[in-house]
């Protein structure tokens, strides 16, 4: 009677599809808005400021900010996609169905995080395509570029998933992205090289995990980095491991999911 | 093994420290309709939520068709369909999408014909492309039922399915429940409409303050606990019950036109005949007389009141 239970792939697919359908239903929001905001960044930073800065590390300023810009959106969108996807059913109560379904925690994670990560990867690529209209781009290490893209999307979708489970109110849902992630991203070297900072700030910046993501990502484009690529990759994996550990704990205890 | 659900020693203490279930032992038989009755806050939803995997129990064990709900949760849960008390659906999905989603979530292969049949049976087919948010309350309730039936459950939990549902829909719903039972589906329902339990259930369980205080075959329950009432319509109004009749539990209606005698149906000597003789002796004449069994509702209210 106790046969080993088969994984419920159909459930993973069902959840994933609903998550993707949500993105396509709000296609205006999901595609048009990043295109517009990216264009604005280029107008403001690329043209207005860039005309004075010229080059950083031998890269035209407009091109220099592209990886940081992608990371900025990737981080915030991964978090908001995943946190909302799990918070919403919790909020309206429809989560009962997920909890009563024959799905494992791992399957729930794969479906929700997979859906959120897919959306933000698509978003990253849209931004890249938009940027290509404004500045000449080159990608020296395409494999690593994709690897950083996927790794970051998955890690921060996982992080968003944790926030979505933790949050009890909409305010809490916004809190972490607003108070922690956005500042860290802006201070993470999206728009400048950390070598441009005065001494003490350069050291402080090294405690900001986002610095490593952006630096590694920029290296995959131009072969130039603020910190070594190995360290970048290592830091990303450490953060991923922390998120996985938290999620494992949440699911072991049913934290804020099952009373 | 005839019971399909076996609940033994289940307790639940919520994080607030509130003990919602004290120690529940309950077996649900295969293919029956079981009505769980209890006042607000008795623990009905808590118990259902534990069996369905939504709430973690504090102790005890539950099996569904022999599958432990923790160790063997996939097998246990895939047998169960749940229609919760609250209307909770993703408002932006269409009826069609949300019902197919439920089927997928429970690991069933896509089957458009089956889903269509479920929607037709619940008169939701015309609404299949509508978003849930545009449905009326009764339609939403049916959509919740459709979601639960979409994955062909062998056990169906209906947590107050007819709350806020009009008479016609209620009839349809009970017809559906009977059809499901004919197909061998076990049905556990909670309701505040006791006449429904009376009309539908094979067995009745009464829960109060987290304890099952009675589980009984419905007919047996009615027989055992049934009290009968005899109503006498008097020819002339009485000002007070005469002293000679004080040994009967009589009630005089306002205006004095009606006497009601409540007696135990089970007793060998219910006292009906002697009451009539004594009435005659007292010179009280009546025009008409009727008797009725007390309803499950009265039984229920009595039971719950008796609890300390
Ligand atoms: N999450 C929770 N935390 C703390 N207490 C809870 C929680 N959920 C329910 N309770 C308490 O547990 C008790 C049983 O609740 P439950 O919802 O099971 O009752 P019920 O029998 O379904 O009532 P009703 O007929 O009103 O639906 C109630 O006193 C309720 O306040
Ligand atoms: Mg309830």
**What was the ipTM of the complex prediction?**
0.85
**pLDDT over 70 for what percent of chain B?**
93
pLDDT for B21 beyond 90? yes
For residues A251 and A105, is the Cβ–Cβ distance under 8 A?
yes
- Protein residue with its CA nearest to atom 7 in ligand 1: B14
First to last CA, chain B: 36
Chain B CB contacts of A103 below 8 Å: 105
Burial grade of B253 (CB within 10 A; 0-12, 13-18, 19 or more)? middle
Does B237 touch chain A if contact means CB atoms closer than 8 Å?
no
Separation of alpha carbons B94 and B130, rounded Å: 5
Token pair belonging to A113: 């995080």
Query: Which helix (H) or strand (E) is B158 found in, with range?
Result: strand B155-159
pLDDT in tens, B57-81: 999 999 999 999 999 999 999 999 9
What domains does chain B contain, in order, with CATH numbers? 3-223 (3.40.50.300), 227-294 (3.30.70.1560)
pTM reported for the whole predicted model: 0.83
Chain A CB contacts of B53 below 8 Å: 99-100, 258
Chain A CB contacts of B56 below 8 Å: 254, 258-259
Separation of alpha carbons B6 and A163, rounded Å: 37
pLDDT in tens, A20-35: 888 787 777 777 877 8
Does B133 touch chain A if contact means CB atoms closer than 8 Å?
no
Does A142 touch chain B if contact means CB atoms closer than 8 Å?
no
Mean pLDDT of B113-123: 94
- Ligand 1 atom having least distance to the Cα of B44: 21
Contact flag B109-A10 (C-beta cutoff 8 Å): yes
Q: Name residue, tokens 């992205």.
A: A177
Backbone angles phi, psi at B28, to 5 degrees: -105, 130
DSSP state of B201: -
* Of B267 and A76, more confident: A76
Q: How many CB pairs under 8 A join A and B?
A: 92
Q: Mind telling me how many Å the CA of A96 is from chain B's nearest CA?
A: 6
Mean pLDDT of B223-237: 80
pLDDT in tens, B22-56: 999 999 999 999 999 888 899 999 999 999 999 99
pLDDT in tens, A103-159: 998 899 999 999 999 999 999 998 898 888 888 888 889 999 999 999 999 999 999
Q: Report the C-alpha dihedral over residues B173, B179, B185, B186, rounded to 10 degrees.
A: 60
């Amino acid at each position: 009677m106790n046969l080993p239970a088969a994984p419920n792939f159909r459930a993973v697919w069902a959840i994933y599809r609903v998550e993707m359908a949500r993105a396509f239903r709000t296609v205006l929001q999901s595609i048009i808005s990043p295109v517009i905001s990216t264009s604005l960044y280029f107008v403001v930073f690329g043209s207005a400021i860039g005309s004075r800065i010229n080059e950083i590390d031998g890269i035209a300023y407009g091109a220099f900010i592209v990886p940081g810009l992608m990371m900025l959106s990737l981080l915030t969108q991964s978090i908001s996609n995943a946190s909302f996807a799990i918070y919403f059913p919790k909020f309206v109560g429809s989560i009962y169905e997920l909890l009563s379904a024959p799905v494992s925690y791992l399957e729930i994670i794969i479906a929700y995080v997979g859906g959120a990560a897919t959306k933000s990867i698509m978003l990253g690529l849209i931004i890249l395509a938009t940027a290509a209209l404004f500045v000449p781009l080159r990608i020296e290490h395409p494999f690593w570029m994709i690897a950083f893209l996927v790794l970051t999307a998955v890690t921060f979708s996982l992080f968003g998933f944790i926030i979505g489970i933790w949050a009890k109110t909409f305010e809490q849902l916004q809190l972490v992205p607003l108070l922690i992630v956005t500042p860290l991203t802006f201070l993470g070297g999206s728009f400048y090289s950390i070598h441009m900072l005065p001494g003490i700030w350069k050291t402080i910046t090294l405690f900001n995990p986002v610095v490593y993501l952006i630096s590694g990502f920029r290296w995959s484009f131009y072969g130039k980095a603020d910190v070594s690529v190995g360290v970048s990759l290592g830091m990303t994996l450490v953060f991923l491991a922390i998120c996985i550990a938290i999620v494992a704990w949440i699911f072991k205890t049913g934290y804020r999911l099952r009373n | 093994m005839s019971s399909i659900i076996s609940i033994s020693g289940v307790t639940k203490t919520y994080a607030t420290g509130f003990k919602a279930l004290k120690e529940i032992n309950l077996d649900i038989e295969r293919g029956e309709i079981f009505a769980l009755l209890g006042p607000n806050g008795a623990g009905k939803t808590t118990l259902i939520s534990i069996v369905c995997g939504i709430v973690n129990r504090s102790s005890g064990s539950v099996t569904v068709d022999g599958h432990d709900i923790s160790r063997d949760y996939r097998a246990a849960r895939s047998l169960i369909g749940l229609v919760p008390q609250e209307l909770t659906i993703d408002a932006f999905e269409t009826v069609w999408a949300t019902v197919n989603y439920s089927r997928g979530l429970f690991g069933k292969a896509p089957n458009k014909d089956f889903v269509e049949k479920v929607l037709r049976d619940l008169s939701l087919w015309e609404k299949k492309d509508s978003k849930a948010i545009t449905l009326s309350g009764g339609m939403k309730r049916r959509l919740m039922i459709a979601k639960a039936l979409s994955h062909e459950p062998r056990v169906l939990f209906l947590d107050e399915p007819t709350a806020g549902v009009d008479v016609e829909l209620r009839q349809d719903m009970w017809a559906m429940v009977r059809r499901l039972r004919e197909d061998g589906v076990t049905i556990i329902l909670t309701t505040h409409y006791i006449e429904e339990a009376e009309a539908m259930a094979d067995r009745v369980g009464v829960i109060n303050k987290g304890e099952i205080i009675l589980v009984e075959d419905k007919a047996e329950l009615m027989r055992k606990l049934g009290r009968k009432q005899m109503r006498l319509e008097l020819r002339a109004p009485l000002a007070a019950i005469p002293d000679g009749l004080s040994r009967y539990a009589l009630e005089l209606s306002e205006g004095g036109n009606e006497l009601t005698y409540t007696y135990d149906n089970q007793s060998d000597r219910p006292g009906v005949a002697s009451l009539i003789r004594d009435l005659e002796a007292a010179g009280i004449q009546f025009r008409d007389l009727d008797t009725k069994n007390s309803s499950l509702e009265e039984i229920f209210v009595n039971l719950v009141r008796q609890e300390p």
